[in-house]
A and B are shown apart, each in its own frame.
Chain A
Amino acid sequence: MTERIDIRNMRTRTEAINALPTVPSALKQISAMFEKPRLSIDELSGFISGDPALTSKILKMVNSAAYGFPNRISSISHAIMLLGFNVVRGLLLGVSVFDLMQKNIAGLWEHSVGCAVAARCIAQKKNLQEPEEVSICGLLHDIGKVILILHYPREYETVLAKARDEGISLFEAEQSRFEATHADVGSWLARKWRFPVNLAEAIEYHHTPHLSRQAKLETAIVHVSDILVRARGIGINGDMLVPDIHPESWTLLQLTDDDVRDILAELETAASEAEDL
C-alpha cells in the first residue's frame, strides 16, 4: 500500500496557500485579505466592487433562491449590511473557489449551492438567528476538496478514481491516501481566514457531527443538508452515494416529514438556478 501523506505536511501546505504556485492568484489575493486581523467593510466591498464579474456573481447569488432575500439587493455594501460581513466573505470565497473547480469535480458547485439552500431552509425552520450564516456553512463545507486538488492533484485523482471504482465515499477514499480529509483541510483554512468558530466546526465535522462541541446545531444542519441534497441527486461532489446518517443529528433537528418536503421543494427551484450562478 502506498504511504499516506502525513497530516503535518498537509497542514503546512494548506496554510501556505498564498505561496504555492498551483494556487490561482485570485484565491491568493482573497486569502491574504482574509488573514488580516482587521479587515474593514470598505476594504471588503472595495475589493469585490473592483471586479465587475465577481460583483455580478455575488449579487446574483444573494438575490437567488439560495438566499431568497425579500428585497432586491443592489450593491455589495447593501449585501454586507443586510447579510453580514462573514456571509459576504463566505460568498466571495465560494464564488471564487468553485469557479476554479467545475472542471475537476463536475457538479461540486451545484452540490454546494444545494447544501446552502437546504441549510438555510432548516435554519429558518429552527428559528436560528442567522440563517444566512448557516447557509454559508453549507456552501463551503466541501471547500477542502478544492484545496486538496490544488495541492495534491495527482494523489487526489487516484482518490477520486478509487471512490468511483470501489463505490465508496470520497471521505473514505481520502483516508486511504491522506492522514487528514477534506473536512480537516477546510476547517484549517476557515480558522486561518478568521471565519467564526461555528463555520469552522460545521466544516470539520460534517461527516462526524457527533464530535462537534461548539456548533452542534450548525454541524447537524450541514450533515443533514448534505444527505438530503445527495438523496435528491443534485450535483455530484465526487461520489453520488448517500452517506451514513448520524441519528443524533437527525434527532437534534426534529424535522417533520413536511419539513423535509419543503426542503426538497426549495432544492428543486435552487437547482435550476444554480447552473446560472
Chain B
Amino acid sequence: MRKVSIDQLEPGMVLERPILRGSTVFLGKGVVLGETAISRLRSMEIEHAFVEGSEEQPISRDEAMTLLDERFRNKEDDPLLKHIKNLVREHIAGLYD
C-alpha cells in the first residue's frame, strides 16, 4: 500500500482503501482510477489516497539502520531484545528491496 497526495494521483492507479464522503463510500477498494474520478477527488476535501504499490521510504536505508541502533542503545546484553531487533532489522531491510 502506498500513500499518495491527491495531486499526484495518476490514471491507472488502483485504490487499496476506499475513499469516503461523509460516512458513505465514494470509491471502493480495488477501483482503477480514471481521469474523471481523479478530477472529482481533487474537488473534494481530501488530501491523500491509498493506492497499490509499495510505500516510498522517507529516509535512506542507512539512516533507518542507524536509528534502529539508537533505539536499542544499551540493550545489547538482552538476548530476547537482540532477537527482536534482528527481526525488525530484516523487516526494515525488506522495505528497501
Contact = CB atoms under 8 A, between A and B. Distances in A.
A100 interface: no
A244 B78 contact: yes
A70 B73 CA distance: 40
Interface in B1-42: 1, 3, 17-18, 20, 22-25
Interface in A65-118: 72, 74-75
Mostly helix, strand, loop or mixed at chain B's interface?
mixed
A59 B1 contact: no
B50 A273 contact: yes
B96 interface: no
A18 interface: no
Interface in B48-97: 48, 50, 55, 67-68, 70-75, 78, 80-81, 84-85, 87-88, 90-92, 95
A63 B1 contact: no
Contacts of B22: 56
10 contacts: A60-B20, A63-B20, A74-B24, A230-B71, A231-B72, A242-B72, A245-B78, A245-B81, A264-B88, A273-B50
Given A242-B71, A268-B55, 11 more contacts: A227-B81, A240-B71, A242-B85, A244-B81, A245-B80, A260-B84, A261-B90, A261-B91, A264-B88, A264-B91, A265-B91
Interface in A223-250: 227-228, 230-233, 240-242, 244-245, 247, 250
Interface size class on chain B is 20 to 34
Interface of B: 1, 3, 17-18, 20, 22-25, 47-48, 50, 55, 67-68, 70-75, 78, 80-81, 84-85, 87-88, 90-92, 95
A25 interface: no
B87 A242 contact: no
Interface of A: 55-56, 59-60, 63, 72, 74-75, 167, 227-228, 230-233, 240-242, 244-245, 247, 250, 257, 260-261, 264-265, 268-269, 272-273, 276
